[in-house]
Amino acid sequence: MKYKLLSLNVGRPEVYETEKGELESAYRKTPVQEAAYLTYYNFEGDEQADKKNHGGRDKAVCLYPAQHYKHWDEHYGQSFSFPAFGENLTVEGIDEREVHIGDQFQLGDALLQISEPRKPCYIIARTHGIKDFPAKVMETGYTGFYLRVLKEGKVTPGDDMTLVEHHPSAVTVADVNEVRYHDVNNPHKLKRVIEVDALAKGLRDSLSEHLHKIKEEL
């Protein structure tokens, strides 16, 4: 499977005004036209403001499927342009329901692996001035996802993102969103997700803690 990188986006922390006051974030990224080098932690020219909840090896790259933009344009009656979701990679055709935690992709010279779904937070609401945006993203499952970098390298806008290896667990990004936001107390589904070796450690720890509480209540 091949998917097209439509927009490569980077940004550094900045302070900008929102309806609820000032916000410091690197959410507002800018498309670049030239190749950018991808390290194990981020793209050259990219940085995170909140390093506690963003960045690190498991969240080196944020990807958002380009086709979801049409849904949000229609739902909110306004036009969103790349990268309105703060993503590094805007990719056409890739879908949370079809790709798996641990799947590996070649992008330019870099090798990437899906690590976890992206969790929408208050920043998307404040940046766009739309209060229910995070809730709607979770409801639809149009979250996008994070990738870790297995091999550093140069990435160029327009590169193909090519599937190299499916992870044998076959746990999709959508499966993880299901236990995170909807079927949250299903021990069998939780266990299946937690057992995926490629799942980001932070998410595995939080889901494991939740599963432990469920078992105690049974």
Burial degree of 146 (CB within 10 A; 0-12, 13-18, 19+): buried
Residue of 218, 187, 140, 124 whose CA lies nearest to 207: 187
Q: How far is CA 104 from each of CA 12, 17, 49, 145, 165, rounded to the nearest angstrom?
A: 27, 38, 27, 13, 5
On whether the CB atoms of residues 64 and 85 are closer than 8 A, the answer is yes
The answer to whether residue 128 scores a pLDDT higher than 70 is yes
Tokens of 113: 């692996």
Amino acid at 76: Y
186 part of a folded domain: no
- At residue 53, the pLDDT reads 64
Q: Is 180 helix (H, G, I), strand (E, B) or coil?
A: helix
Q: Which amino acid is at 50?
A: D
Residue-wise over 84-103: b if at least 16 C-beta within 10 A, else e? bbbbbbbbeebbbeebbbbb
Residue 200 lies in a domain: no
* 20 band by pLDDT with thresholds 50, 70 and 90: confident
Q: Is residue 66 part of a domain?
A: yes
Contact 6, 92 (CB under 8 A): yes
Q: Is the pLDDT of residue 51 over 80?
A: no
Q: Can you give the pLDDT at residue 47?
A: 85
Whether 32 is covered by a domain: the verdict is yes
**For 163-204, what is each residue's pLDDT tens digit?**
999 999 999 999 999 999 999 999 999 999 999 999 999 999
| DSSP state letter for 12 | -
Residue whose C-alpha is closest to residue 50's, from 137, 107, 123: 123
> What is residue 92's three-state secondary structure?
strand
Tokens 């958002």 -> residue: 64
Report yes or no on 209 lying in a domain. no
Q: Which domain holds residue 101?
A: 2-167
Count of domains observed in the chain: 1
172 membership: H or E segment, kind and range: none
Beta-bridge partner residues of 67: none
- At residue 96, does pLDDT exceed 70? yes
How far apart, in whole angstroms, are the C-alpha atoms of residue 29 and residue 92? 18
Q: Domain containing 78 — which CATH number?
A: 2.40.33.20
Task: Say if pTM beats, i.e. exceeds, 0.85.
Answer: yes
Task: Say yes or no to pLDDT of 218 above 90.
Answer: no
Flag whether 64 is in a domain: yes
Could you give the percent of the chain with pLDDT greater than 90? 85
* pLDDT value at 2 more than 90: yes
Look at residue 179 and tell me if it is in a domain: no
Instruction: With respect to residue 59, please indicate whether it lies within any of the assigned structural domains.
Output: yes
